[in-house]
Each structure stands twice: as C-alpha cells, then as structure tokens.
Structure 1
Amino acid sequence: MVLQFSKENGVATLKFNRPDKYNSFNQELAFAVQKALDDCEQDDAVRVIVITGEGKAFCAGQDLAEATDPNGPPLKKIVGDHYNPIVLKLRAIEKPIIAAVNGVAAGAGANLALACDMVVAKKSATFIQAFSAIGLIPDSGGTYFLPRLVGAQKALALMLSGDKVPAAEAEAMNMIYKAIEDEEFDAYINKMTAKMAKMPTKGYGLTKKAVNESFNNTLKEQLELEEKLQAIAGSTEDFKEGTQAFLEKRKPEFQGK
C-alpha cells in the first residue's frame, strides 16, 4: 500500500507510504493520491485534509528508477499525468489542505507541499529544489508557487543552486507557515486539524477560491469577486450559526454547510 488513507472526525489524512524510497513518487502513488483527493472532495464529512509522509521523509520527489526505466513512462507523461492533476486538485478542492512536512521535501515533493494551503514542518525538515542537480527544471507548480511565496530572485537562486533550506529558514522567508519543534509536531498538527474540522468549511472554500483568483485579477475584478463570494458565504448555514452564536455569547457549532 503506497498510500495510507484514513478519515476520522472530519480529518482526512493522506500519508505517502514508501519509506524505503523516502516516499518518492511512482505512477502507483501518483494515481493513489489523485483518487484519494477526489474522494476527499466528494465526501461532505471531510472538513480538512492533511498530507504527510511515513518514516523520516515527507517526499523525495520522483522515483528516478521509474523515470529512467526504458519501459517506464516518459518525463512528459510523468509531469502531465502524475503531478499536474494533483496540483490542480490541491488548488481546486474547496477545503483546507495542510502539508505536514515530517522530513525532507525535495523536488516534486517540495513543490507539492507548497501547492497546499498551509505548510507546517518539523524543524529538522528541509526543502530542496533538487532539479538542477540532474539537469531538469522545477515542475509540480514550483515555478508558479515559489516565486509568489519568496520573490522571483530568491526562488530562482534556490532553483539554480539546489541549496537545502532548513524549515526555520523556510518560515523566515515566508516559504512555509510554521516550523515546529520535532517533539511538538504531531500534537500541533492534531490540534490544528481538530480545530479546522469544526470551522465553517464553506467559508474556508470561498476564501481559498478568492485567493486563487487574486493572482490573475485586477483590483476592481477582485473587489467584485469578493462581493459575489461574500453573498454566497452570507447564505450559508454556518454564517447563520456564527452570527447567532455571537449574539447569544456562546461557542458556534459549525456544520460545514
């Protein structure tokens, strides 16, 4: 089983499960992740999604044994059929997606993490744009997300140099949300996901949509989109519950509807 997939209390967890290969991607894992993400999108009981890795690594990127196999899929197919659909699903699913980076995130593994809504990493974890070392370019959305997170010059330097970026440094340069002490990591992720699973899921999804579209909109277009999406948010049961709870001075009980 190359992917451990579980659901509990509104939290879906996708755990890459090729620890002997540092959770590097092959075709089987890529398609398993795509299928699990489709499941999460369609299941109303899923309120938040966590992506992490088994063992010491988060994901070391592409399994080069597959990529160099004469009988294996060519690079164009690997990028187009394996990674691109995952990145598009990560951005399209209207539920929060957290990359819980438990170890090294290299190549496509690093960029899949950056495509998530929030990246939380162990302080011992590192991020590496490993492509230049083998004569490739960053894929899996790396050339899109990384410059937007850290700036074009910093992103290009990291891509060209292939330097390892420790989690604390990644946080300092706004590449990731937080770097957490290793011994506190699991508890932090559990606390965060438990909280988010009880929050207004529809509002989260609309917020994600607004941020996604902001990259291509003018200010006027973005203001109009906010107006449209706010009207949708205001018609949800969660908005009604949130305002009623505020007026009654009690804790809201959101249903994600």
Structure 2
Amino acid sequence: MIKTTIEDGIATVVLARPERKNALNAAMFAELGDIVDALRRDTSVKALLLTGEGDDFCAGADVSSMQTATDAADVHARMLENQRPCHAFASFERPVIAAVDGVAYGAGFSLALMADFVLASERARFSLAFARIGLVPDLGMVHMLPRMIGIQRARELIYSARELPAAEAQALGLVLDVCPPAELRARALELARALASQSAVGFALTKRLLAHSFERSLTSLLDAEAGAQAVAFTSAYVMESAARFIRKEPARFSWPPFAAK
C-alpha cells in the first residue's frame, strides 16, 4: 500500500490506497516507518518526496479501524506503533518534500508537516479533523503546529477542525508554494533535486540545529552551532565550493525560481 522508487538520488514514497483517499491503517503506519528508516540508512538517497496516489494526499487514519479498539491500553499501544513514522522522519536528516494534492486531513495533515517543505496543489485542503469525532491531534501535531503558526492560530485550527484551503495554508506559512495540480509533482521533484545538491553534511547539521531551536538556550545553541560549523567547514563540499567561487564557476546549489516568491 506504499510504493517507493529511487531515481537519481531522489526517493519517492507514495501512499497508495486511493480508493480510501490514502487513509492510513495499521499496516501502512508500520510500513511507512520501516520504509523511511530504510531510506535513512541508504546513503545513495539524497532527498525524499512524499505524496499520495490519485487525487488526494491522505485522509488521515482509517476511521473504520477505530471500531476494533477494545480499551484505552489497547489504543495506547496502537498509538505508540503508529508513531513510528514520526520517529523515522525526525531522524531523516536529508531534505523531505511533501507534495499535497486533494485532502490532507487529520494524521495526513500531521504527516505533511513532518516534511521540511510542503508544496500544495490549488485544490489541496487541510483539516485537523480530530475534534469532529472527539479525538485529540496526533502524530506530533501539537508539537509542530504552534511552533509554525503560534499558539493562538494553532488553537483555532485544532478546536474548530475547519477546512483550510491551500492559499490560506500558504499565507499562514504551512505551505511553501501552491500550483496547479498538473505541475505539483514536477515542482516537488525540482525542489527535491535542488536541495539534494546541497552538502549532505551541512544540511544534516543545520536540520539538527533547527530541530532543537525552540528548546535550547541561545548559549547552548551557539555552542552547538560552533561545533557543527567546525565539521561542515572541513567537508569536501565546502572545499569544492570555495574552489568554484575562486574560479568564478556556478555553484552546485541553486534555489528553484518558483520557491523564491
């Protein structure tokens, strides 16, 4: 139910259950965690593109599976298993791009925000639908959303469970770019390829620093930054980049024009 391909260093992971709007069941949660963890260990993979098959990204967790819950202990154990993709993406220190078409509801919304960047089609729709059926947000949403848009707007989206169109999601800073559906996959691949051309060492160190930027003090981050810069500065990528600059040659990395808006 999850398809994976690797081409030119870009791993494309596709949630492939279109008849259910790519809703995640227990098997898919486990499979996604395993796949992302395996890709993390594959040094040939320079970036990861996450998307859905058909006209939707992900409708969230499969509601039909909720009827099999027996008690709170059973649900708690299941949730710990379902969190495997969270841990896998958190430890994936290379670029992750989410290409969202159609719905990204509930856990699907959470899954999209695990990416470094979210690109959306004009028909993409986001919703923290948990409150509609009496549930709490999961897959790390209460950690990610307030940090991205502030606690007041996070409360509004969580408590209301309203639908968020792509343009508003971009205005809030949750989406980098919005484009026609036919252009979505190509733009996502363009961004993934561009980020993959960066220094793997420099990107991983930067992503690690950013992951802790809200929890650590300035003094602590300055110390971590100095250590990270010492490692990055002595990498082969920096040596090559400096040589290219001196020779007035183009840099290896170039930010895609569409993302500069």
TM-superposed deviation, 1:85: 2.0
Structure 1: distance between partners of 2:49 and 2:207:
16
1:36-58 C-alpha deviation (Å, 9 max, x unpaired): 11111111110000110001110
2:59 counterpart letter in structure 1: A
Are 2:59 and 1:81 equivalent residues in the alignment? Answer: no
Q: Which runs of 5+ in 1 are unaligned?
A: none
CA contact (8 A) 2:51 2:57 kept: yes
CA contact (8 A) 1:91 1:116 kept: no
Structure 2: distance between partners of 1:173 and 1:245:
38
Structure 1: distance between partners of 2:147 and 2:178:
19
CA contact (8 A) 1:4 1:14 kept: yes
Matches within 5 A, 1:231-246: 231-246=230-245
TM-superposed deviation, 1:253: 5.3
Matches within 5 A, 1:188-227: 188-227=187-226
Partner of 2:145: 146
Are 2:25 and 1:5 equivalent residues in the alignment? Answer: no
Structure 1: distance between partners of 2:78 and 2:139:
10
Are 2:20 and 1:21 equivalent residues in the alignment? Answer: yes
CA contact (8 A) 1:94 1:202 kept: no
Partner of 1:157: 156
CA contact (8 A) 2:13 2:49 kept: yes
CA contact (8 A) 1:67 1:74 kept: no
Q: For 1:216, what is the secondary structure of its paired residue?
A: coil
Q: Which runs of 5+ in 2 are unaligned?
A: 254-261
TM score, norm. by length of structure 2 = 0.92
Are 2:131 and 1:132 equivalent residues in the alignment? Answer: yes
Q: For 1:13, what is the secondary structure of its paired residue?
A: strand
CA contact (8 A) 1:110 1:129 kept: yes
TM-superposed deviation, 1:71: 7.4
Structure 2: distance between partners of 1:177 and 1:39:
27
Query: Structure 1 vs Structure 2: percent identity of aligned residues?
Result: 32
Q: For 1:136, what is the secondary structure of its paired residue?
A: coil
Q: For 1:31, what is the secondary structure of its paired residue?
A: helix
Partner of 1:111: 110
TM-superposed deviation, 1:127: 0.7
Structure 2: distance between partners of 1:160 and 1:205:
35
Q: 1:26 to 1:222 in 2, by over 3 A?
A: same
Partner of 1:178: 177
Aligned CA-pair RMSD = 1.7
Number of residues paired by the alignment? Answer: 252
Are 2:68 and 1:63 equivalent residues in the alignment? Answer: no
Structure 2: distance between partners of 1:192 and 1:176:
13
TM score, norm. by length of structure 1 = 0.93
